[in-house]
Chains A and B, each alone.
Chain A
Amino acid sequence: MSLERNAESFLQVIEANKGIIYKVARSYCSSELNREDLIQEIILQLWLSFHKYNETYKLTTWMYRIALNVSISFYRKESRRDAINHPLPEGILFLNEDKAGEGWRAEVDQLYLFIQQLTAIDRAIILLYLEENSHQEIASILGLTMTNVATRVSRIKQQLKQKFSIL
């Protein structure tokens, strides 16, 4: 069934895939305030491209491409607030701290810290890998060959293991 291209349908797509947006934004933005701006910019650019979404690709492939392209371009800007079109006064995606709990936090924070130390493209590769995308899907999102993805994934995993081992 083809996807309707109206605001309601867009909201459903965002609601169903909000985790993708949040995780991509967190991988490229350590500051919470900047991250809110980045999340807003990703959702805005997704909306602007929604009518052009080509259904021959998976919806998540389309979302990852836009979220990653916006994030990689966004993190190059010095003044993040200037980089976005119309900053909204409040955030769009946020964690319900009561439900989030604390137990997971330190390890995930550490993992994000290591991810943020990687180059812009390597961050995308490891994020897509952790999200259980196949090498073929990662190659299609990034525009790399599958062999290239496999080599890079194994190299980055090695780097992460080393970083965790010296903790």
Chain B
Amino acid sequence: MEENEIITIWKSYNRMLYDSLILNRKNTEEITRMKVQTFLASTKPLKIFTILVGIAWVAFVDILIINLFPIASPFFLISAGIQVLLTKMAIGIYLYQLILIHQADISEPILATQEKIARLQSSTLWVARLLFLQLPVWTTFYWNKGMLENGNLFLYILQIMVTGSFAVMAVWLFRNIRYDNRDKKWFRWIFAGKEWSPMIKSMDLLNQLEEYNKEATHEEDR
């Protein structure tokens, strides 16, 4: 089929729509009376709630570290310190998401808006990476001098194996949870479920947008 034939089909389709497309005015009027937020702004309350819970947690652990500093075991202080640092980074990502929500305007050009929305959704992957990175400290915070001095060989080996495997797994996941691995079985297994699907599709879109930008730069250079 030639280009002009495609255009002719489209024009006849337009004429048909003009004659037969009906707008339900009652339902449209109902929409103008709805008390709702824009679709991006509607995700704000949950993010703000998560940030507030995160800040409360960080404040609690920070106070604990400061107050117990003279008496607590170094294992607890270091583990809690790492955990709280990673939580602060995750809060930072949520704040970044709020900024993107604030900046994204759906009446702006498609590419710029979609890039913001896609970055917003795919940044959730960073939260997952940080979450996995803190796994090993949950196996070390309860250690103390007494356990080290009075423990037996079996306990030492068990502890080293558990902490070691958690540390290896955490670093491996932190390094490998990225878009390039989206088709790997383990990735699909971790990120199975409908709540992760928009994030994966966002990363696909970011890839497409990158292609467009590359193409535009290439054309400008020519």
Contact = CB atoms under 8 A, between A and B. Distances in A.
B6 A144 contact: no
Nearest to B32: A7
Interface in B102-119: 106-114, 117
A85 B109 contact: no
Interface string A47-71: 1110011100000001001101110
Main secondary structure of the interface of B (DSSP, over half): helix
Contact of B36 (A11, A43, A44, A152): A44
B114 A104 contact: no
A44 B31 contact: yes
A90 B27 CA distance: 8
A48 B39 CA distance: 10
A15 B22 CA distance: 9
Given A88-B27, A101-B16, A22 B21 contact: yes
A121 interface: yes
Band of interface residues on B: 35 or more
A47 B30 CA distance: 11
A119 B208 contact: yes
A124 interface: yes
Among A62, A76, A88, the one with the most B-chain Cβ atoms within 10 Å of its Cβ is A76
Interface string A130-167: 11000000001111110110011000010011001100
A93 B22 contact: yes
B110 A69 contact: yes
A40 B106 contact: no
Contacts of B150: none
A66 B109 CA distance: 9
Given A108-B13, A164-B1, A130 B109 contact: no
Among B9, B21, B209, B220, the one with the most A-chain Cβ atoms within 10 Å of its Cβ is B21
B9 A108 contact: yes
Contacts of B22: 93-96
A13 to B, nearest CB: 10
Contacts of B25: 11, 15
Contacts of B32: 7, 10-11, 47
Contact of B24 (A94, A140, A161): A94
Contacts of B39: 41, 45, 70, 73, 83, 85
A120 B208 contact: yes
Given A142-B109, A145-B220, A121 B212 contact: yes
A142 B215 CA distance: 15
Interface of A: 7, 10-11, 14-15, 18-19, 22-23, 40-41, 43-45, 47-49, 52-54, 62, 65-66, 68-70, 72-73, 76-79, 83, 85-86, 88, 90-101, 104, 107-108, 111, 119-121, 124, 130-131, 140-145, 147-148, 151-152, 157, 160-161, 164-165
23 contacts: A11-B25, A18-B23, A40-B27, A44-B34, A45-B38, A65-B106, A66-B106, A69-B106, A76-B205, A83-B39, A88-B31, A93-B21, A93-B22, A96-B19, A96-B20, A97-B20, A120-B114, A121-B111, A121-B212, A124-B110, A143-B109, A151-B219, A160-B6
Interface of B: 1-3, 6-7, 9-10, 12-14, 16-25, 27-34, 36-39, 42, 106-114, 117, 121, 194-195, 197-198, 201-202, 205, 208-209, 212, 215-216, 219-220
